[in-house]
Amino acid sequence: MSLDGRRARIDRVLFTEEEIAAKVRELAARIRADYEGKPLTVVGILKGAFVFTADLVRALDMPLRVDFMAVSSYGFATQTSGIIRILKDLDRPIRDQHVLLIEDIVDTGLTLRYLREHLLAQSPASLRACVLLDKPERRQVDVPVEYVGFTIPDEFVVGYGIDYAEQFRYLPYIACVKLED
């Protein structure tokens, strides 16, 4: 049982471990080509993107710096509150750095827009976003995403670092969940 009183159960697997690994390699190849000869700073967003960030960094196989931010917009809900709070900011300045922001999922676009504005205010040389999952049906604001792994329907997903009430992050695949009272 979660904190909101609803139980979540896996409904179906959306992307297998093998499909995710292939997509990570594909994204890494594109990113590596785009940043060839440029120093790169990767900024992973905790907690949801930690697995994706680790796998992508290993697949990039190039010199880079890694930093993390943690933000909150969901709490224990399945819908974003629209209020974004930075729980952990960058450890090092990014001025004049080529920055790749890594997120697990973009749905409304509110969190990604907020993060982009926050990072752009620090004067990086460039800023691009890489998201594993894109849920365009839920978009409330336009936000540029240069690298997208998979486009998904408007369903609640878990696994591969993505949670529901801090559960299911450990799954090696991405699955849709059903919430039950």
Q: What is the mean pLDDT of the chain?
A: 92
Q: What digits encode the pLDDT tens for the residues 48-88?
A: 999 999 999 999 999 999 999 999 875 544 555 568 889 99
Cβ(94)–Cβ(68) below 8 Å: no
What pLDDT, on a 0 to 100 scale, did the predictor assign at position 22? 98
Please state the pTM of the whole predicted model: 0.90
pLDDT band of 13, cuts 50, 70, 90: very high
C-beta atoms surrounding 91 within 10 Å: 10
Domains belonging to the chain, first-starting first, are 7-180 (3.40.50.2020)
d(CA 39, CA 99): 9
Of 11, 80, 72, nearest to 45 by C-alpha is: 72
What pLDDT, on a 0 to 100 scale, did the predictor assign at position 3? 44
User: Could you confirm whether 181 is annotated as catalytic?
Assistant: no
Q: Determine which one of 11, 34, 96, 107 is catalytic.
A: 107
Which residue(s) pair with 147 in the sheet? 130
What pLDDT, on a 0 to 100 scale, did the predictor assign at position 7? 83
What pLDDT, on a 0 to 100 scale, did the predictor assign at position 80? 53
Which helix (H) or strand (E) covers residue 20, if one does? Answer: helix 17-34
Q: What digits encode the pLDDT tens for the residues 114-126?
A: 999 999 999 999 9
